[in-house]
Amino acid sequence: MPLVRIKELPQHIGERVTVNGWLYNKRSSGKLQFPIIRDGSGYLQCVVFRKDVSEETWKAVEDVTQESTVRVTGTVRAEQRAPGGVELGVESFEVLAPAAEYPITPKEHGTAFLMDLRHLWLRSSKQHAILRIRNELEKAIRDFFYDRDFVLIDSPILTANAAEGTSTLFETDYFGQKAYLSQSGQLYLEPAAAAFGRVYCFGPTFRAEKSKTRRHLMEFWMIEPEVAFLEFDGLQDLAEEFIEYVVGRALERCQEELKTLEREVSKLENVKRPFPRITYRDAIELLATKGMSVKFGDDFGGDEETVIANSFDRPVMISRYPTAIKAFYMQPDPKDPSVVLGLDMIAPEGYGEIIGGSQRIHDHDLLLQRIKQHNLPVEAFQWYLDIRKYGTFPHSGFGMGLERVVAWVSGVPHLRETIPYPRMLNRIYP
């Protein structure tokens, strides 16, 4: 009997097949029982007709508990009302491993309870849909850069220096020397841009964020392109082309998942270039009209970002932030050195900052001065300064937080559901 994955059953209508999976749910009405099986690729409604099966099979279906491992054999039939458009007329139903009483039931559970059971929660339909969207976005990201001739440069996770400020570093011991978990691959990508022209990295990054928010994880995945000779306007073009592409891929290939999540897709269909571009100063004025007073030099918090985002129907790019609130490596605006050529892209619907990026300082002496102003140890950055010594060149890049984009595309409010095993404040289990 051919063993078929549920997803492929529509190509086997009229055939006898076997499916391996787990019992998702079941209902019955007198002479009929309808166990629903899942195998990770989809859900299958099985139809067990009392007079078609042995007493043993009938009993096995009656007794089977949620999440037991099962093997079912029968004939595939078209059935428009069933999930996936097919059902299975059952001949035999074997319980390979009965499951103990399953703690996650269709009723509502509290989040702390579900987070403790994250290893099981992954099986639930909503979590499954979110992580499938994550999978599609990861592939879209790689395709986007591969198709544009970017070289993937894997940056190290153990690093000797800070990239994004010293307050969120995870410190560890490296044979008696202090080391940190990487906050960003950027500093390693800039030298690689001199070697390959266009590069990107995509990996886990770590930030010891001391506050509890729905937008922060301690471990998150970041995609960071870095391009030689790309200046600030080109960087904004790249960021919007990229976001339009990845959202488009989810719309094209994750229709089922978006339906499961009841995502309002028209909001995502709006994500078309050009995106609005405003400056930090424009944003302050916009906030003032909404009754929020922000002074030049203040950073925007989640509330401000949401108010700005709600003024637009697609992501908005905010540029030219005050030098004092941005990272040491950002290039000053030649027209106004009190601000930098840095950008944040804010997602619609309150999902916050999805991209942060900038043109980089390429003048050696200015960069050295900034490293000192930020009280960073010059020796640890000698290699980074070297790039400005051996054939310096203007260059730019950005970082996109994968989980923020998965949350936005999926329409889930909290980042904890967008990564298989979230690392949050005071939580490292499971």
Compute the distance between CA of residue 26 and CA of residue 49 in angstroms, rounded to an integer. Answer: 14
Is the separation of the CB atoms in 367 and 352 below 8 Å?
A: no
Interaction partner, residue 304 (ligand 4AD, Mg ion, none; CB < 5-8 Å by kind): none
Touching ligand 4AD, residues 121-160 (CB under 6 A): none
- For ligand 4AD, the closer of residues 63 and 299 by Cβ is 299
Question: Whole-number minimum distance, CB 239 to Mg ion, in Å?
Answer: 13
Compute the distance between CA of residue 87 and CA of residue 81 in angstroms, rounded to an integer. Answer: 9
Helix 232-253 and helix 402-410: axis angle, to 10°? 50
Q: DSSP string covering 18-54, please?
A: EEEEEEEEEEEETTEEEEEEE-SS-EEEEEEEGGGS-
- Report the amino acid identity of residue 362: H
Is the separation of the CB atoms in 1 and 75 below 8 Å?
A: no
Touching ligand 4AD, residues 214-243 (CB under 6 A): 216-217, 220, 222, 224
399 binds ligand 4AD (CB under 6 A): yes
397 binds ligand 4AD (CB under 6 A): yes
Touching ligand 4AD, residues 334-363 (CB under 6 A): 353-357
How far, in Å, are 82, 333, 401 from residue 361 at the CA level?
58, 10, 23
Interaction partner, residue 404 (Mg ion, ligand 4AD, none; CB < 5-8 Å by kind): ligand 4AD
Select the residue interacting with ligand 4AD from 67, 87, 136, 164 (CB under 6 A).
164
How far, in Å, are 95, 201, 383 from residue 61 at the CA level?
8, 49, 66
Number of residues that bind ligand 4AD (CB under 6 A): 24
How many Cα atoms occupy the beta-carbon half-sphere of 27 within 13 Å? 2
Interaction partner, residue 399 (ligand 4AD, Mg ion, none; CB < 5-8 Å by kind): ligand 4AD
- For ligand 4AD, the closer of residues 102 and 393 by Cβ is 393
Binding pattern for the stretch 2-31 against ligand 4AD, x by CB under 6 A and - elsewhere? ------------------------------
Compute the distance between CA of residue 344 and CA of residue 280 in angstroms, rounded to an integer. Answer: 10
Q: With contacts defined by CB under 5 A, name the span among 121-129, 154-162, 189-197, 355-363 that binds Mg ion.
A: 355-363
356 binds Mg ion (CB under 5 A): yes
Compute the distance between CA of residue 405 and CA of residue 82 in angstroms, rounded to an integer. Answer: 31
186 binds ligand 4AD (CB under 6 A): yes
315 binds ligand 4AD (CB under 6 A): no
Binding pattern for the stretch 190-209 against ligand 4AD, x by CB under 6 A and - elsewhere? -----------------x-x
Residue 99 is classified by DSSP as P
401 binds Mg ion (CB under 5 A): no
Interaction partner, residue 370 (Mg ion, ligand 4AD, none; CB < 5-8 Å by kind): none
How far, in Å, are 10, 32, 87, 114, 123 from residue 38 at the CA level?
15, 20, 12, 20, 9
State the CB neighbour count (10 A cutoff) for residue 373: 11
Contacting positions for Mg ion (CB under 5 A): 356
Q: Which residues bind ligand 4AD (CB under 6 A)?
A: 163-164, 184, 186, 207, 209, 216-217, 220, 222, 224, 353-357, 397-401, 403-404, 415
